[in-house]
Amino acid sequence: MAGGEAYISKGATYEIDGKVYECLEFLHVKPGKGAAFVRTKMKDIINGGVVEKTFNPAKDVLKKAYVDKQEVQYSWNDGEFYHFYADDGSEILISMEDAKDAMQFVKEGENVMAKSYQGKIFSVDPPLTVELKVTEAEPAVKGNTATGARKTATVETGAQVMVPLFVEQGEVIKIDTRTGEYLSRA
């Protein structure tokens, strides 16, 4: 790429038309006629939308966007904001609407990764897996032993998870926070 940006790389973030995008996929295309170009799939890191964009490596200048990551501890929520504390003791507020999906498996006192761009936090990433206590589980029906049979369970954060029939209230289970899937007993 011109202007000091040599390559587009997967996972890198760029500022394009005032928005910040993460490169999900890219493909260098060299057609038989005409100039080579780069076809990309980019994710808007603020609102989550995915778009396809094409760039001319000889002319287009992509400006790298530096996303800051900071580990913060979840403290509590007031019904409108999640309250976090950074290592320096500062309090960080993130609206519940913006972080609702990411926080469904996070309990008070756990650490998450806060991502910000130019000082504005736009998302939080929970740990990849968490261990949570089952607070409510449907009883297993005797004789219902079909392979892979599942039931709904509620964990201590209030989230609902599909679990195998043998999981009971009071047990601690391991959950994949990316998919919300039960992994195992803890």
3-state secondary structure of 96: helix
pLDDT per residue over 134-147, tens digit each?
Answer: 999 887 666 556 56
3-state secondary structure of 155: strand
Q: What percent of the chain has pLDDT over 70?
A: 92
Q: How far apart are CA 133 and CA 159, in angstroms?
A: 11
pLDDT per residue over 102-123, tens digit each?
Answer: 889 999 999 999 888 888 887 8
112: Cα separation from own chain's centroid? 11
Q: What is the mean pLDDT of the chain?
A: 85
**Structure tokens that stand for 179 in this block:** 């998919």
pLDDT at 62: 85
Count CB neighbours of 96 within 10 A. Answer: 14
Confidence of residue 4 (pLDDT cuts 50, 70, 90): very low
Is pLDDT of 176 > 70? yes
Phi then psi for 87, rounded to 5 degrees?
A: -60, -30
Is pLDDT of 166 > 50? yes
Q: How far apart are CA 54 and CA 33, in angstroms?
A: 17
pLDDT per residue over 57-99, tens digit each?
Answer: 878 888 888 888 899 999 998 988 889 998 888 888 888 887 7
Confidence of residue 174 (pLDDT cuts 50, 70, 90): very high
